[in-house]
Amino acid sequence: MPSSLALLVTGASTGLLAGGASCAAVQGGLLAGAVTRRSPTAPQSRPAPPRPGTSTRPRPAQETGPRPLAPVGAFLAGKFLSHTVLGALLGVFGNALQPSPRARAVMMLIAAAIMLLFALDLLGVKAVHRLVPRPPASLGRLLRRSAKTDSAATPALIGFATVLVPCGVTLSVELIAVTSGSPIAGAAVMAGFVAGTAPLFAALGYLFRRTSRALSGRLAILTGVLVLGVASWTALSGLQAGGWATFDLTPGGDAPAAAAAPDASKTASGDKAPEAQTDGPVRIDASGQQVITLTVTDFYVPTKFTAKAGVPTKLVLRGKDSGGCARAFTIPELGVQEIVKRDGDTPVDLGTRKTGTLRFSCAMGMQTGTINFTKDGQ
């Protein structure tokens, strides 16, 4: 299960970078309706005639309705509530399914594909226009009619109902909520997403109300570029989460940790049982089992190992104040999913491996590494 905090940050950054503009393009009209609606005012009595000697200059009209930020806040509060509840329900659904690491990775790739279609549509690629998921037109008309009412609760109700009118980025974040497999983590990613969209969404909704035609073309291009970037990042994470690829962005990469060499001081007669090799992240213990130690903080250290093939092997996940996505450790090829102890060891039996590369990652594909099994372990 990915860290709720990591998913909250992921949702917020996705909303801030791409969600605000893309969702405002779909839901901006509803926000504008909520902001511009008129509030009922108390009937005013007929003004009394001015007294002799007093000024007859009319006083400036006083605003009796609520300030524009009040309905905006109510709208966003309703949107925050509905999306958080939805995220929790999607997390429960994902927990019931218990998808494997590669099933989660496939859902991430589907999310990336949805965002890619949405981005291409915003950039004016007509071939994908019919493929982009869209809410029914009748639902949009119903919500716009509701925005014209004078009820004080209308902005909040409209914001709550936006969960039924998702944009392309929202759909992808909903899939991430499913992959979290937890109601808390699912609620966190959706709450973070709405929180990330809030500043830009409020500003864009106000601008849509003023100059929607002037901004729509440029905004669509900018949004398309941003969504395209998020889609690429999600696709790369999905490939890593599925164990199909590892993208090392560190210059030069980490030097691989190799298996400890046999102690040369041991005699060949075998009179005394050999002592365990305790040095280094890859060693052979007294029983002849190969032990690979991976330190887990907010990251994996080291990220590359070289181990000996054909030897019974155990991976030890050594938590040292571990946190974030790194705690949700997976080996997609073996279907391994482990929540690393914050402080302590979590053992994983790898069996006797043949020569080849075994990839591991966090559940969201953001932290990755490899274990390269060779004949000589060097």
Per-residue pLDDT in tens (0 to 9) along the chain, 378 residues: 556 777 787 778 777 776 666 666 566 556 655 555 444 444 444 555 555 655 555 454 444 444 555 677 788 888 899 999 999 999 898 878 777 888 888 888 887 887 788 788 878 888 887 887 665 666 556 555 655 555 557 778 878 877 776 665 777 688 778 877 789 988 998 999 889 888 876 675 555 445 544 455 666 677 678 778 877 887 888 899 899 988 865 444 455 777 655 544 444 445 444 444 455 799 999 999 999 999 999 899 999 999 999 999 999 999 998 877 788 899 999 999 888 888 999 999 999 999 999 999 988 788 899 999 999 877
Which segments of the chain belong to CATH 2.60.40.420? 257-261+277-374
d(CA 359, CA 378): 18
d(CA 229, CA 233): 6
Q: Is the peptide bond before 302 cis (omega within 30 degrees of 0)?
A: yes
Tell me the C-alpha to C-alpha distance, in Å, between residue 143 and each of 35, 38, 119, 222, 336.
14, 16, 25, 27, 46
Tell me the C-alpha to C-alpha distance, in Å, between residue 177 and each of 85, 173, 180, 182.
11, 6, 5, 8
**∠ CA(347), CA(353), CA(359), 5° rounding?**
70
**Three-state DSSP state, 261:** coil
Residues 6+ apart with CB under 8 A from 171: 111, 114, 133
**CATH C-level class of 257-261+277-374:** mainly beta
- Which two tokens mark 6? 């990591």
Q: What is the pTM of this model?
A: 0.65
